A and B are shown apart, each in its own frame.
Chain A
Amino acid sequence: MSDPTQNAQQKPGEVQTTGHAWDGDLQEYNNPLPRWWLWCFYGTMVFGVLYWIYFPSWPVGGSWLKGVGTVDYTITDKKTHQAKEQEYRWNTRSLLLSDLNEAANNEKRKTMLAQVRAASFDQIVKDPKMMEFVRSVGKGLFGDNCAACHGSGGQGVVGMYPNLTDNDWLWGGATGQIHETLVQGRKGFMPAFGAVLKPEQLDDVAEYVLTLSNEAKPSEASARGKEIFHGPVGGCYYCHGADAKGVPSQGAANLTDKIWAIADVPTQKTLQDKKAVVKTFVTKGVNNTRIMPAWKGRLNDDDIKLLAVYVHQLGGAQ
Protein backbone atom coordinates (compact mmCIF):
# COMPACT_ATOMS: atom_id res chain seq x y z
CA MET A 1 0.00 0.00 0.00
CA SER A 2 1.24 3.43 -0.88
CA ASP A 3 1.47 6.11 1.74
CA PRO A 4 -1.78 8.14 1.63
CA THR A 5 -0.08 11.29 2.79
CA GLN A 6 2.51 11.10 0.11
CA ASN A 7 0.68 13.38 -2.36
CA ALA A 8 -0.47 15.78 0.26
CA GLN A 9 2.70 17.70 -0.11
CA GLN A 10 1.71 20.05 -2.83
CA LYS A 11 4.01 20.63 -5.70
CA PRO A 12 3.70 24.04 -7.34
CA GLY A 13 0.84 24.21 -9.90
CA GLU A 14 -0.82 21.05 -8.62
CA VAL A 15 -4.16 20.75 -6.87
CA GLN A 16 -4.18 19.35 -3.38
CA THR A 17 -5.88 15.98 -2.76
CA THR A 18 -8.00 15.04 0.23
CA GLY A 19 -5.24 12.79 1.47
CA HIS A 20 -7.13 9.50 1.22
CA ALA A 21 -6.15 6.69 -1.09
CA TRP A 22 -8.40 3.76 -1.94
CA ASP A 23 -7.48 0.53 -3.68
CA GLY A 24 -3.89 1.55 -3.53
CA ASP A 25 -3.88 4.57 -5.83
CA LEU A 26 -7.38 6.05 -6.12
CA GLN A 27 -7.31 9.64 -4.85
CA GLU A 28 -9.58 12.64 -4.66
CA TYR A 29 -8.74 16.23 -5.56
CA ASN A 30 -9.69 18.86 -3.08
CA ASN A 31 -10.70 21.74 -5.37
CA PRO A 32 -12.18 24.85 -3.75
CA LEU A 33 -15.77 25.68 -4.78
CA PRO A 34 -15.95 28.03 -7.77
CA ARG A 35 -16.41 31.59 -6.63
CA TRP A 36 -19.57 32.25 -8.69
CA TRP A 37 -21.17 29.22 -7.14
CA LEU A 38 -20.39 30.37 -3.63
CA TRP A 39 -21.88 33.79 -4.27
CA CYS A 40 -25.06 32.21 -5.59
CA PHE A 41 -25.20 30.12 -2.46
CA TYR A 42 -24.83 33.16 -0.18
CA GLY A 43 -27.40 34.89 -2.36
CA THR A 44 -30.00 32.23 -1.64
CA MET A 45 -29.38 32.71 2.08
CA VAL A 46 -29.96 36.44 1.84
CA PHE A 47 -33.05 35.79 -0.29
CA GLY A 48 -34.30 33.36 2.34
CA VAL A 49 -33.97 35.92 5.13
CA LEU A 50 -35.72 38.63 3.10
CA TYR A 51 -38.47 36.15 2.23
CA TRP A 52 -39.06 35.41 5.93
CA ILE A 53 -39.38 39.08 6.64
CA TYR A 54 -41.63 39.94 3.72
CA PHE A 55 -44.04 36.99 3.68
CA PRO A 56 -45.87 35.21 6.52
CA SER A 57 -43.50 32.54 7.79
CA TRP A 58 -42.25 31.04 11.02
CA PRO A 59 -44.46 30.06 13.91
CA VAL A 60 -43.35 31.86 17.08
CA GLY A 61 -45.01 31.30 20.44
CA GLY A 62 -48.76 31.12 19.91
CA SER A 63 -48.64 33.09 16.68
CA TRP A 64 -46.50 33.45 13.59
CA LEU A 65 -44.42 36.02 11.74
CA LYS A 66 -46.96 37.96 9.71
CA GLY A 67 -44.65 39.48 7.14
CA VAL A 68 -44.66 43.09 5.94
CA GLY A 69 -46.04 42.81 2.40
CA THR A 70 -49.53 44.19 1.75
CA VAL A 71 -52.28 43.68 -0.80
CA ASP A 72 -55.14 45.98 -1.85
CA TYR A 73 -58.53 44.65 -2.73
CA THR A 74 -62.14 45.76 -3.02
CA ILE A 75 -65.09 43.77 -1.77
CA THR A 76 -68.80 44.38 -1.56
CA ASP A 77 -70.14 44.19 1.95
CA LYS A 78 -72.91 41.59 1.97
CA LYS A 79 -75.10 43.48 4.45
CA THR A 80 -74.80 47.09 3.31
CA HIS A 81 -74.02 46.28 -0.37
CA GLN A 82 -71.36 48.97 -0.21
CA ALA A 83 -68.09 48.39 -1.96
CA LYS A 84 -65.19 48.90 0.39
CA GLU A 85 -61.54 49.19 -0.36
CA GLN A 86 -59.17 47.41 1.96
CA GLU A 87 -55.49 47.01 2.43
CA TYR A 88 -54.38 43.90 4.21
CA ARG A 89 -51.15 42.07 4.84
CA TRP A 90 -50.05 39.74 2.10
CA ASN A 91 -51.34 36.20 2.27
CA THR A 92 -52.85 33.81 -0.24
CA ARG A 93 -56.37 34.74 0.78
CA SER A 94 -56.00 38.50 0.43
CA LEU A 95 -54.09 37.91 -2.80
CA LEU A 96 -57.05 35.93 -4.12
CA LEU A 97 -59.39 38.85 -3.45
CA SER A 98 -57.15 41.24 -5.29
CA ASP A 99 -56.79 38.72 -8.14
CA LEU A 100 -60.54 38.45 -8.32
CA ASN A 101 -61.13 42.10 -9.05
CA GLU A 102 -57.87 43.52 -10.24
CA ALA A 103 -56.55 41.09 -12.81
CA ALA A 104 -56.39 42.90 -16.13
CA ASN A 105 -58.88 40.76 -18.02
CA ASN A 106 -61.23 41.13 -15.08
CA GLU A 107 -61.77 44.82 -15.80
CA LYS A 108 -63.37 43.90 -19.09
CA ARG A 109 -65.42 41.23 -17.40
CA LYS A 110 -66.53 43.70 -14.76
CA THR A 111 -67.87 46.23 -17.25
CA MET A 112 -69.63 43.50 -19.22
CA LEU A 113 -71.12 42.06 -16.04
CA ALA A 114 -72.36 45.47 -14.97
CA GLN A 115 -74.08 45.84 -18.36
CA VAL A 116 -75.68 42.41 -18.14
CA ARG A 117 -76.77 43.05 -14.57
CA ALA A 118 -78.52 46.26 -15.54
CA ALA A 119 -80.12 44.92 -18.71
CA SER A 120 -83.42 43.05 -19.03
CA PHE A 121 -83.43 39.60 -20.61
CA ASP A 122 -84.84 41.04 -23.82
CA GLN A 123 -82.12 43.64 -24.04
CA ILE A 124 -79.41 41.04 -23.50
CA VAL A 125 -80.78 38.70 -26.15
CA LYS A 126 -80.90 41.54 -28.70
CA ASP A 127 -77.39 42.81 -28.01
CA PRO A 128 -74.71 40.87 -29.94
CA LYS A 129 -71.91 42.06 -27.69
CA MET A 130 -73.61 40.96 -24.52
CA MET A 131 -74.58 37.66 -26.15
CA GLU A 132 -70.96 37.00 -27.06
CA PHE A 133 -70.07 37.54 -23.42
CA VAL A 134 -72.93 35.27 -22.30
CA ARG A 135 -71.76 32.51 -24.62
CA SER A 136 -68.14 32.60 -23.51
CA VAL A 137 -68.85 32.79 -19.77
CA GLY A 138 -71.92 30.55 -19.96
CA LYS A 139 -70.02 27.75 -21.62
CA GLY A 140 -67.61 27.50 -18.68
CA LEU A 141 -70.33 27.75 -16.07
CA PHE A 142 -72.40 25.15 -17.87
CA GLY A 143 -69.44 22.78 -18.12
CA ASP A 144 -68.63 23.07 -14.43
CA ASN A 145 -72.14 22.84 -13.07
CA CYS A 146 -74.65 21.44 -15.51
CA ALA A 147 -72.84 19.21 -17.99
CA ALA A 148 -72.67 16.23 -15.63
CA CYS A 149 -76.44 15.87 -15.95
CA HIS A 150 -77.44 17.68 -19.14
CA GLY A 151 -74.39 16.63 -21.15
CA SER A 152 -71.54 18.86 -22.28
CA GLY A 153 -73.59 20.36 -25.11
CA GLY A 154 -76.89 20.33 -23.21
CA GLN A 155 -78.18 17.34 -25.17
CA GLY A 156 -79.30 15.52 -22.00
CA VAL A 157 -79.96 11.82 -21.43
CA VAL A 158 -83.36 10.52 -22.51
CA GLY A 159 -85.43 9.46 -19.52
CA MET A 160 -83.13 11.08 -17.00
CA TYR A 161 -82.07 14.63 -17.86
CA PRO A 162 -83.92 16.79 -20.37
CA ASN A 163 -82.37 17.92 -23.61
CA LEU A 164 -81.91 21.69 -23.41
CA THR A 165 -81.11 22.18 -27.09
CA ASP A 166 -84.41 21.14 -28.66
CA ASN A 167 -86.54 24.18 -27.88
CA ASP A 168 -89.13 21.95 -26.23
CA TRP A 169 -89.54 22.78 -22.58
CA LEU A 170 -91.19 21.17 -19.61
CA TRP A 171 -91.12 24.27 -17.45
CA GLY A 172 -91.18 26.86 -20.21
CA GLY A 173 -88.45 28.22 -22.46
CA ALA A 174 -88.77 31.98 -21.95
CA THR A 175 -85.70 33.48 -20.30
CA GLY A 176 -87.76 34.35 -17.22
CA GLN A 177 -89.06 30.80 -16.90
CA ILE A 178 -85.61 29.29 -17.35
CA HIS A 179 -84.31 31.74 -14.77
CA GLU A 180 -86.95 30.54 -12.33
CA THR A 181 -86.01 26.92 -13.08
CA LEU A 182 -82.40 27.69 -12.16
CA VAL A 183 -83.12 29.75 -9.07
CA GLN A 184 -85.52 27.40 -7.33
CA GLY A 185 -84.79 24.06 -8.95
CA ARG A 186 -87.48 21.72 -10.32
CA LYS A 187 -88.94 18.41 -9.33
CA GLY A 188 -90.88 16.54 -11.98
CA PHE A 189 -93.98 14.86 -10.60
CA MET A 190 -96.58 12.72 -12.28
CA PRO A 191 -98.69 10.20 -10.37
CA ALA A 192 -98.18 6.49 -10.96
CA PHE A 193 -101.29 5.26 -12.78
CA GLY A 194 -100.50 1.56 -12.30
CA ALA A 195 -102.77 1.42 -9.28
CA VAL A 196 -105.44 3.78 -10.67
CA LEU A 197 -106.07 2.41 -14.14
CA LYS A 198 -106.62 -1.17 -15.25
CA PRO A 199 -104.05 -2.69 -17.63
CA GLU A 200 -106.51 -2.39 -20.58
CA GLN A 201 -107.12 1.26 -19.76
CA LEU A 202 -103.37 1.84 -19.65
CA ASP A 203 -103.10 0.26 -23.10
CA ASP A 204 -105.86 2.49 -24.40
CA VAL A 205 -104.46 5.69 -22.97
CA ALA A 206 -100.99 4.83 -24.30
CA GLU A 207 -102.46 4.34 -27.74
CA TYR A 208 -104.24 7.68 -27.50
CA VAL A 209 -101.05 9.46 -26.40
CA LEU A 210 -99.31 8.10 -29.49
CA THR A 211 -102.02 9.44 -31.80
CA LEU A 212 -101.36 12.93 -30.45
CA SER A 213 -97.99 13.00 -32.17
CA ASN A 214 -99.13 10.99 -35.19
CA GLU A 215 -97.19 7.92 -34.07
CA ALA A 216 -100.42 5.92 -34.21
CA LYS A 217 -103.63 6.21 -36.20
CA PRO A 218 -106.87 6.85 -34.34
CA SER A 219 -108.61 3.58 -33.46
CA GLU A 220 -111.30 2.29 -31.17
CA ALA A 221 -108.72 1.81 -28.47
CA SER A 222 -107.45 5.36 -28.81
CA ALA A 223 -111.00 6.68 -28.62
CA ARG A 224 -111.42 4.93 -25.29
CA GLY A 225 -108.03 6.30 -24.26
CA LYS A 226 -109.12 9.80 -25.23
CA GLU A 227 -112.00 9.59 -22.80
CA ILE A 228 -109.71 8.51 -20.01
CA PHE A 229 -107.23 11.28 -20.85
CA HIS A 230 -109.83 14.02 -20.91
CA GLY A 231 -112.19 12.60 -18.30
CA PRO A 232 -112.17 12.22 -14.56
CA VAL A 233 -110.80 8.66 -14.66
CA GLY A 234 -107.32 9.57 -15.84
CA GLY A 235 -107.48 13.34 -15.50
CA CYS A 236 -104.37 13.64 -17.65
CA TYR A 237 -105.66 16.91 -19.13
CA TYR A 238 -105.43 18.52 -15.73
CA CYS A 239 -101.65 18.67 -16.03
CA HIS A 240 -101.02 18.18 -19.73
CA GLY A 241 -103.74 20.58 -20.79
CA ALA A 242 -106.88 20.06 -22.86
CA ASP A 243 -104.77 20.35 -26.02
CA ALA A 244 -102.13 18.03 -24.50
CA LYS A 245 -99.49 20.63 -25.29
CA GLY A 246 -98.26 20.65 -21.72
CA VAL A 247 -98.58 23.13 -18.90
CA PRO A 248 -95.29 24.79 -17.96
CA SER A 249 -96.37 25.65 -14.42
CA GLN A 250 -96.73 21.89 -13.80
CA GLY A 251 -93.63 20.94 -15.74
CA ALA A 252 -95.90 18.66 -17.74
CA ALA A 253 -94.60 17.56 -21.11
CA ASN A 254 -96.01 18.52 -24.47
CA LEU A 255 -97.39 15.23 -25.82
CA THR A 256 -98.27 16.48 -29.29
CA ASP A 257 -94.75 16.85 -30.70
CA LYS A 258 -92.13 14.35 -31.78
CA ILE A 259 -89.88 15.21 -28.88
CA TRP A 260 -89.89 12.85 -25.93
CA ALA A 261 -88.11 13.72 -22.71
CA ILE A 262 -88.68 10.54 -20.76
CA ALA A 263 -90.57 7.83 -22.60
CA ASP A 264 -88.05 6.80 -25.23
CA VAL A 265 -90.50 6.51 -28.11
CA PRO A 266 -88.33 7.60 -31.07
CA THR A 267 -85.83 4.73 -30.76
CA GLN A 268 -88.56 2.06 -30.70
CA LYS A 269 -89.20 0.49 -34.09
CA THR A 270 -92.65 -1.03 -33.87
CA LEU A 271 -95.89 0.54 -32.71
CA GLN A 272 -96.12 -2.25 -30.14
CA ASP A 273 -92.80 -1.23 -28.55
CA LYS A 274 -93.71 2.44 -28.63
CA LYS A 275 -96.92 1.67 -26.82
CA ALA A 276 -95.01 -0.43 -24.31
CA VAL A 277 -92.63 2.39 -23.30
CA VAL A 278 -95.48 4.87 -22.90
CA LYS A 279 -97.47 2.36 -20.89
CA THR A 280 -94.52 1.54 -18.63
CA PHE A 281 -93.95 5.21 -18.03
CA VAL A 282 -97.58 6.03 -17.25
CA THR A 283 -97.76 3.00 -14.95
CA LYS A 284 -94.81 4.16 -12.87
CA GLY A 285 -95.13 7.94 -13.11
CA VAL A 286 -92.43 10.21 -11.75
CA ASN A 287 -91.90 10.74 -8.06
CA ASN A 288 -88.75 12.13 -6.53
CA THR A 289 -86.56 10.72 -9.25
CA ARG A 290 -86.19 13.67 -11.60
CA ILE A 291 -84.70 16.47 -9.61
CA MET A 292 -83.17 19.62 -10.95
CA PRO A 293 -81.13 21.13 -8.08
CA ALA A 294 -81.72 24.75 -7.02
CA TRP A 295 -78.75 26.98 -7.82
CA LYS A 296 -79.56 30.03 -5.73
CA GLY A 297 -76.92 30.27 -3.04
CA ARG A 298 -74.59 27.95 -4.87
CA LEU A 299 -74.05 30.22 -7.86
CA ASN A 300 -74.27 33.99 -7.50
CA ASP A 301 -77.10 36.01 -9.03
CA ASP A 302 -75.01 37.17 -11.99
CA ASP A 303 -73.98 33.64 -12.89
CA ILE A 304 -77.58 32.44 -12.75
CA LYS A 305 -78.72 35.28 -15.00
CA LEU A 306 -75.94 34.53 -17.49
CA LEU A 307 -76.80 30.83 -17.46
CA ALA A 308 -80.50 31.48 -18.03
CA VAL A 309 -79.66 33.41 -21.20
CA TYR A 310 -77.05 30.83 -22.19
CA VAL A 311 -79.52 27.95 -21.89
CA HIS A 312 -82.15 29.99 -23.70
CA GLN A 313 -79.85 30.41 -26.71
CA LEU A 314 -78.81 26.73 -26.55
CA GLY A 315 -82.41 25.93 -27.39
CA GLY A 316 -82.38 28.68 -30.02
CA ALA A 317 -85.57 29.72 -28.35
CA GLN A 318 -88.18 32.40 -27.90
Chain B
Amino acid sequence: MRHEHIETNSGLMILLILAVISIGGLVEIVPLFYINETVEKVEGVRPNTPLEVRGRDLYLREGCYLCHSQQIRPFRDEWLRYGHYSLAAESQYDHPFQWGSKRTGPDLARLGGKYSDQWHVQHLKAPRSVVPQSIMPNYPWLLTTKLDYSDVADRMRALRATGVPYSVTQAEYEANVKKFGQTVADQLDISQAEANLLKEARDKNFDGIAGQVTEMEALVAYLQSLGTMVNFSQYNDDEFVKFR
Protein backbone atom coordinates (compact mmCIF):
# COMPACT_ATOMS: atom_id res chain seq x y z
CA MET B 1 0.00 0.00 0.00
CA ARG B 2 1.30 3.41 -0.84
CA HIS B 3 2.28 5.61 2.10
CA GLU B 4 0.54 8.61 0.68
CA HIS B 5 -2.65 6.60 0.33
CA ILE B 6 -2.68 5.91 4.09
CA GLU B 7 -1.67 9.42 5.08
CA THR B 8 -4.42 11.05 3.13
CA ASN B 9 -7.15 8.63 4.21
CA SER B 10 -7.82 9.20 7.91
CA GLY B 11 -10.44 6.44 8.32
CA LEU B 12 -8.02 3.85 7.05
CA MET B 13 -5.22 5.31 9.15
CA ILE B 14 -7.32 5.05 12.34
CA LEU B 15 -8.05 1.39 11.62
CA LEU B 16 -4.41 0.60 10.98
CA ILE B 17 -3.28 2.45 14.12
CA LEU B 18 -5.78 0.49 16.20
CA ALA B 19 -4.55 -2.76 14.68
CA VAL B 20 -0.91 -1.97 15.44
CA ILE B 21 -1.58 -0.80 18.99
CA SER B 22 -3.72 -3.82 19.87
CA ILE B 23 -0.92 -6.19 18.90
CA GLY B 24 1.09 -4.85 21.82
CA GLY B 25 -1.82 -5.32 24.20
CA LEU B 26 -2.75 -8.77 22.96
CA VAL B 27 0.77 -10.11 23.07
CA GLU B 28 1.09 -8.95 26.66
CA ILE B 29 -2.32 -9.93 27.96
CA VAL B 30 -3.70 -12.94 26.13
CA PRO B 31 -0.97 -15.43 27.09
CA LEU B 32 -1.71 -14.65 30.74
CA PHE B 33 -5.23 -16.05 30.31
CA TYR B 34 -3.66 -19.48 30.02
CA ILE B 35 -1.51 -19.28 33.13
CA ASN B 36 -3.10 -20.63 36.29
CA GLU B 37 0.17 -21.26 38.07
CA THR B 38 0.44 -17.65 39.21
CA VAL B 39 -2.67 -17.85 41.38
CA GLU B 40 -1.64 -19.18 44.78
CA LYS B 41 -3.51 -22.10 46.30
CA VAL B 42 -4.60 -20.82 49.69
CA GLU B 43 -7.43 -21.59 52.04
CA GLY B 44 -9.99 -19.14 53.31
CA VAL B 45 -10.56 -16.76 50.41
CA ARG B 46 -14.30 -16.41 49.93
CA PRO B 47 -16.56 -14.03 48.01
CA ASN B 48 -18.01 -11.09 49.96
CA THR B 49 -21.16 -11.44 52.03
CA PRO B 50 -24.19 -9.45 50.81
CA LEU B 51 -23.49 -6.66 53.34
CA GLU B 52 -19.85 -6.50 52.23
CA VAL B 53 -20.97 -6.42 48.59
CA ARG B 54 -22.96 -3.27 49.29
CA GLY B 55 -20.09 -1.85 51.32
CA ARG B 56 -17.73 -2.41 48.45
CA ASP B 57 -20.11 -0.61 46.09
CA LEU B 58 -20.09 2.37 48.45
CA TYR B 59 -16.29 2.25 48.55
CA LEU B 60 -16.42 2.69 44.77
CA ARG B 61 -19.20 5.27 44.85
CA GLU B 62 -17.33 7.49 47.32
CA GLY B 63 -14.12 7.18 45.34
CA CYS B 64 -12.05 5.84 48.21
CA TYR B 65 -9.84 4.12 45.61
CA LEU B 66 -8.68 7.54 44.43
CA CYS B 67 -6.59 7.88 47.56
CA HIS B 68 -6.23 4.29 48.77
CA SER B 69 -4.65 1.27 47.11
CA GLN B 70 -5.39 -2.31 48.14
CA GLN B 71 -2.21 -4.01 47.14
CA ILE B 72 0.82 -4.54 49.31
CA ARG B 73 3.84 -5.03 47.10
CA PRO B 74 6.63 -7.45 47.94
CA PHE B 75 9.05 -4.82 49.24
CA ARG B 76 10.69 -4.73 52.61
CA ASP B 77 9.25 -1.37 53.70
CA GLU B 78 5.72 -2.42 52.77
CA TRP B 79 6.10 -5.77 54.49
CA LEU B 80 7.18 -4.03 57.68
CA ARG B 81 4.46 -1.41 57.55
CA TYR B 82 1.41 -3.21 56.24
CA GLY B 83 2.11 -6.91 56.66
CA HIS B 84 2.18 -9.77 54.19
CA TYR B 85 2.21 -8.79 50.52
CA SER B 86 -1.06 -9.24 48.65
CA LEU B 87 -1.66 -12.49 46.82
CA ALA B 88 -3.36 -12.86 43.46
CA ALA B 89 -5.65 -15.40 45.13
CA GLU B 90 -6.92 -12.76 47.52
CA SER B 91 -8.53 -10.72 44.78
CA GLN B 92 -9.86 -13.60 42.73
CA TYR B 93 -13.47 -12.63 43.51
CA ASP B 94 -12.88 -8.89 43.30
CA HIS B 95 -14.45 -7.40 40.17
CA PRO B 96 -13.08 -4.93 39.37
CA PHE B 97 -10.08 -5.39 41.65
CA GLN B 98 -9.09 -2.43 43.83
CA TRP B 99 -5.29 -2.76 43.64
CA GLY B 100 -4.59 0.76 42.48
CA SER B 101 -1.35 2.66 42.76
CA LYS B 102 -2.47 6.02 44.12
CA ARG B 103 -1.59 6.33 47.77
CA THR B 104 -2.62 9.67 49.15
CA GLY B 105 -3.68 7.67 52.20
CA PRO B 106 -2.27 4.35 53.40
CA ASP B 107 -2.79 1.02 51.67
CA LEU B 108 -5.92 -0.74 52.96
CA ALA B 109 -5.25 -4.31 51.81
CA ARG B 110 -4.74 -5.60 55.39
CA LEU B 111 -7.05 -3.19 57.18
CA GLY B 112 -9.50 -5.73 58.63
CA GLY B 113 -9.22 -6.07 62.42
CA LYS B 114 -6.66 -3.30 62.74
CA TYR B 115 -9.14 -0.83 64.21
CA SER B 116 -12.44 -1.14 66.02
CA ASP B 117 -15.77 -0.51 64.32
CA GLN B 118 -16.18 2.60 66.47
CA TRP B 119 -12.92 3.99 65.22
CA HIS B 120 -14.00 3.53 61.60
CA VAL B 121 -17.35 5.20 62.20
CA GLN B 122 -15.71 8.14 63.92
CA HIS B 123 -12.92 8.35 61.36
CA LEU B 124 -15.22 8.26 58.34
CA LYS B 125 -17.55 10.81 59.90
CA ALA B 126 -14.76 13.21 60.83
CA PRO B 127 -11.19 11.95 60.17
CA ARG B 128 -9.57 14.89 61.93
CA SER B 129 -11.32 14.07 65.20
CA VAL B 130 -9.01 11.05 65.57
CA VAL B 131 -6.09 11.88 63.26
CA PRO B 132 -5.56 15.64 63.54
CA GLN B 133 -3.19 15.86 60.54
CA SER B 134 -5.49 13.88 58.23
CA ILE B 135 -6.45 15.29 54.84
CA MET B 136 -9.12 12.68 54.22
CA PRO B 137 -12.58 14.14 53.47
CA ASN B 138 -15.49 13.82 55.92
CA TYR B 139 -18.20 11.34 54.98
CA PRO B 140 -20.92 12.23 57.51
CA TRP B 141 -23.80 11.21 55.27
CA LEU B 142 -22.83 7.55 55.48
CA LEU B 143 -24.13 7.53 59.02
CA THR B 144 -27.40 9.30 58.25
CA THR B 145 -28.31 7.61 54.97
CA LYS B 146 -30.29 4.39 55.13
CA LEU B 147 -28.66 1.61 53.14
CA ASP B 148 -30.55 0.72 49.98
CA TYR B 149 -30.32 -3.06 49.86
CA SER B 150 -33.35 -3.69 47.65
CA ASP B 151 -31.18 -4.68 44.70
CA VAL B 152 -28.46 -6.61 46.52
CA ALA B 153 -29.56 -9.90 44.90
CA ASP B 154 -29.28 -8.33 41.44
CA ARG B 155 -25.83 -7.06 42.26
CA MET B 156 -24.79 -10.54 43.31
CA ARG B 157 -26.26 -11.96 40.11
CA ALA B 158 -24.16 -9.48 38.13
CA LEU B 159 -21.04 -10.61 40.00
CA ARG B 160 -22.03 -14.21 39.38
CA ALA B 161 -21.99 -13.46 35.65
CA THR B 162 -18.32 -12.48 36.02
CA GLY B 163 -17.54 -15.82 37.65
CA VAL B 164 -18.02 -15.20 41.38
CA PRO B 165 -19.59 -18.38 42.82
CA TYR B 166 -22.79 -16.91 44.27
CA SER B 167 -25.32 -19.71 44.04
CA VAL B 168 -28.71 -19.82 42.34
CA THR B 169 -29.37 -23.53 41.96
CA GLN B 170 -29.28 -26.26 44.59
CA ALA B 171 -26.31 -27.86 42.81
CA GLU B 172 -24.34 -24.63 42.97
CA TYR B 173 -25.19 -24.27 46.63
CA GLU B 174 -23.93 -27.76 47.36
CA ALA B 175 -20.75 -27.12 45.43
CA ASN B 176 -20.22 -24.06 47.62
CA VAL B 177 -20.78 -26.10 50.78
CA LYS B 178 -18.06 -28.44 49.62
CA LYS B 179 -15.71 -25.63 48.70
CA PHE B 180 -16.29 -23.07 51.48
CA GLY B 181 -18.23 -24.92 54.20
CA GLN B 182 -21.82 -24.48 55.27
CA THR B 183 -21.60 -21.07 56.94
CA VAL B 184 -20.02 -19.33 53.98
CA ALA B 185 -22.16 -21.20 51.44
CA ASP B 186 -25.29 -19.88 53.16
CA GLN B 187 -24.00 -16.34 52.72
CA LEU B 188 -23.43 -16.94 49.01
CA ASP B 189 -27.01 -18.09 48.36
CA ILE B 190 -28.56 -15.32 46.26
CA SER B 191 -32.12 -16.23 47.25
CA GLN B 192 -31.23 -15.43 50.88
CA ALA B 193 -29.26 -12.27 50.10
CA GLU B 194 -31.50 -9.73 51.76
CA ALA B 195 -32.16 -11.85 54.84
CA ASN B 196 -28.43 -12.52 55.22
CA LEU B 197 -27.61 -8.84 54.87
CA LEU B 198 -30.07 -7.86 57.57
CA LYS B 199 -28.90 -10.64 59.86
CA GLU B 200 -25.24 -9.66 59.58
CA ALA B 201 -26.12 -6.03 60.22
CA ARG B 202 -28.16 -6.97 63.28
CA ASP B 203 -25.60 -9.38 64.72
CA LYS B 204 -22.51 -7.25 64.27
CA ASN B 205 -23.97 -3.75 64.32
CA PHE B 206 -20.94 -2.15 62.67
CA ASP B 207 -22.36 1.38 62.74
CA GLY B 208 -23.23 1.23 66.43
CA ILE B 209 -26.86 2.19 65.76
CA ALA B 210 -29.06 -0.69 66.83
CA GLY B 211 -32.11 -1.42 64.69
CA GLN B 212 -30.91 0.62 61.71
CA VAL B 213 -28.93 -0.32 58.65
CA THR B 214 -27.03 2.70 57.44
CA GLU B 215 -24.55 2.99 54.60
CA MET B 216 -21.88 3.17 57.28
CA GLU B 217 -22.87 -0.34 58.36
CA ALA B 218 -22.07 -1.78 54.95
CA LEU B 219 -18.87 0.17 54.40
CA VAL B 220 -17.39 -0.72 57.79
CA ALA B 221 -18.38 -4.38 57.29
CA TYR B 222 -16.42 -4.30 54.04
CA LEU B 223 -13.42 -2.52 55.55
CA GLN B 224 -13.25 -5.01 58.43
CA SER B 225 -13.09 -7.90 55.96
CA LEU B 226 -10.11 -6.58 54.01
CA GLY B 227 -7.09 -8.85 54.03
CA THR B 228 -8.37 -11.10 56.81
CA MET B 229 -9.30 -14.20 54.82
CA VAL B 230 -5.92 -15.90 54.54
CA ASN B 231 -4.31 -17.05 57.77
CA PHE B 232 -0.66 -16.39 57.00
CA SER B 233 0.60 -18.00 60.18
CA GLN B 234 -0.17 -21.35 58.46
CA TYR B 235 2.29 -20.69 55.70
CA ASN B 236 6.04 -20.34 55.71
CA ASP B 237 7.30 -17.02 54.47
CA ASP B 238 8.59 -18.57 51.25
CA GLU B 239 5.40 -20.48 50.50
CA PHE B 240 4.46 -18.12 47.71
CA VAL B 241 7.79 -17.49 45.95
CA LYS B 242 7.11 -20.19 43.39
CA PHE B 243 4.15 -18.33 41.95
CA ARG B 244 6.27 -15.60 40.35
Contacts and interface: CB of A to CB of B under 8 A. Distances in A.
B241 to A, nearest CB: 4
Interface of B: 31-32, 34-37, 73-76, 79-81, 83, 85, 113-119, 122-123, 129-133, 208, 233-238, 240-244
A-B complex: 3 closest residue pairs judged by Cβ atoms: A59-B31, A91-B244, A291-B116
B129 A59 contact: no
Interface in A56-96: 56, 58-64, 73, 75-78, 86, 88, 91-96
Contacts of B244: 56, 91-93
A96 B34 contact: no
Given A63-B37, A145-B114, A293-B114, 20 more contacts: A56-B244, A59-B34, A62-B35, A77-B236, A86-B238, A88-B241, A91-B244, A93-B74, A93-B238, A96-B74, A144-B81, A148-B119, A148-B123, A148-B130, A148-B131, A152-B133, A289-B208, A291-B117, A291-B118, A298-B114
B35 A59 contact: yes
Interface in A145-165: 145, 147-149, 151-152, 157, 160-161
Given A61-B34, A149-B130, A289-B208, A97 B241 contact: yes
Q: From DSSP, what is the main secondary structure of chain A's interface residues? A: mixed
A297 interface: yes
A77 to B, nearest CB: 6
A148 B79 contact: no
A102 to B, nearest CB: 10
A93 B237 CA distance: 10
Contacts of B237: 75-76, 97
B123 A96 contact: no
Interface in A83-120: 86, 88, 91-97, 99-100, 103
Contacts of A91: 241, 244
A60 B131 CA distance: 49
Nearest to A79: B236
B118 to A, nearest CB: 6
Nearest to A148: B131
A148 B120 CA distance: 10
Contact of B113 (A73, A76, A93, A298): A298
A111 to B, nearest CB: 18
A99 B116 contact: no
A97 B238 contact: yes
B114 A62 contact: no
Contact of B122 (A56, A76, A92, A160): A160
Contacts of A88: 238, 241-242
Interface string A206-229: 000000000000000000000000
Given A144-B81, A148-B131, A157-B130, A93 B32 contact: no
A152 B133 CA distance: 10
Contacts of A97: 237-238, 241
A298 B115 contact: no
Contacts of B235: 78
B118 A100 contact: no
A62 B33 CA distance: 9
A267 B67 CA distance: 36
Contacts of B133: 152
B112 to A, nearest CB: 10
26 contacts: A58-B31, A62-B34, A75-B238, A76-B237, A78-B236, A86-B238, A88-B242, A92-B73, A92-B74, A93-B238, A93-B243, A94-B238, A96-B74, A96-B85, A99-B75, A100-B79, A148-B115, A148-B130, A148-B131, A149-B130, A161-B130, A290-B118, A291-B116, A292-B116, A293-B115, A297-B233
Nearest to A86: B238
A63 B116 CA distance: 43
A23 B189 CA distance: 72
Contacts of B123: 148
Nearest to A90: B244
Contacts of A76: 237
B75 A96 contact: yes
A11 B34 CA distance: 60
Contacts of B116: 291-293
B238 A64 contact: no
A152 to B, nearest CB: 8
B35 to A, nearest CB: 6
